[in-house]
Amino acid sequence: YAVGARPIANGKQNFYGACYSITFNQLPGKTLVFQAVNSGEYAHANQVDLQVPGGGNTLTGGPVIKDACPTQWSSPADGWGRRFGTIDRGHECDLLPKPLQPGCRWRFDWLYPQDRPEGISLTITSMCRVKCPKILTDRTGSIRHDDANYPEAPQ
């Protein structure tokens, strides 16, 4: 499970709080259930930006985003790792506060292909709307009015 951003060009009213079942070309046999809780300026309509602990700050992030980690977690001003990038290796997750470490490690243990531990830009093979699972809505507090109209998310 993950949360993150979708392209603002798609219209926030069309996706904010919605969940999607996503498969990636580079991760055969794996399905990610993703909830859109933010928006951004992206080149492709199906692009998603996962918000993962240790994932770095965005290039377009304003003061609220830039100051969130230092305020909440006493992080360095630019977060952990590279300012517009990320931490580069799984062992660097140990630099994060304990509550953030499992989310950081998930990226290296599940999201990145075993032959590419440094990560890659994943190519979305399929993305379809699903009903948001409770594990996500309990964390985000966001449930769309039309959520019940969609099939259950894969386990």
The residues that bridge with 139 in the sheet, in sequence order, are none
Tell me what pLDDT residue 89 has.
81
Residues 6+ apart with CB under 8 A from 106: 52
Question: May I ask the CATH architecture of the domain 2-149?
Answer: Beta Barrel (2.40)
Q: pTM of the predicted model, to two decimals?
A: 0.82
Q: Which tens digits make up the pLDDT trace of 99-155?
A: 999 988 988 888 876 666 666 678 889 999 999 999 999 999 999 999 999 999 998
High-pLDDT (> 70) share of the chain, %:
81
Q: Which tens digits make up the pLDDT trace of 84-103?
A: 667 778 888 998 899 999 98
Tell me what pLDDT residue 126 has.
93
| Helical segments of the chain, H only | 12-15, 63-73, 101-106, 134-140
> Are 57 and 65 spatial neighbours (Cβ–Cβ below 8 Å)?
yes
3-state helix, strand, coil in the chain (%, to 5): 30, 20, 50
Q: Where are the domains of the chain?
A: 2-149
Q: Record the tokens describing residue 30, joined without a space.
A: 């794996």
